[in-house]
Amino acid sequence: MITHDLRVIADAIFEKKGQNVVSLDLRSVDGAISDWFVVCDASNTTQVGAICDNIREKMKEQGLKLLRSQGEENNFWIILDYGNILVHIFLTQYREFYRLEDLWADVPRKEYKERRIAKKAQAQE
């Protein structure tokens, strides 16, 4: 089920032109605040906000409740907390500065690519 949720998040990011989508499997990390991180970036604050809104909508459609969020007041770095998944949506320059993925360079990592299915579904809407 987690794999499906991660893919829903990735597709929601790509629908709003997010970039560099990766998931980090933190289940083996003692004391990690979540089992999974999903990290992406966008080129401007409007796009960061649009990605956030789209993830919220798509996850709600899946019946998954957002526990809390942070960063929506400025759209530089938004964190969406779904319990076992934390989504980090960065403005590109902030992602490059904080290099969040480098903190967990030794955990399993998956890079996502935009699927044609997501593009077709978007075109039909």
| Top-level class of domain 2-110 | alpha beta
What are the C-alpha distances in Å from 63 to residues 10, 16, 58, 118, 120? Answer: 17, 21, 9, 19, 23
pLDDT per position as a tens digit, 25-56: 999 999 999 999 999 999 999 999 999 999 99
Q: What is the pLDDT of residue 1?
A: 73
pLDDT at 121 over 80: no
pLDDT at 7 over 60: yes
pLDDT at 64 over 90: yes
Q: What is the mean pLDDT of residues 68-91?
A: 98
Q: What is the pLDDT of residue 122?
A: 52
Is 44 in a helix, a strand, or coil?
coil
Neighbours of 6 (CB within 10 A): 19
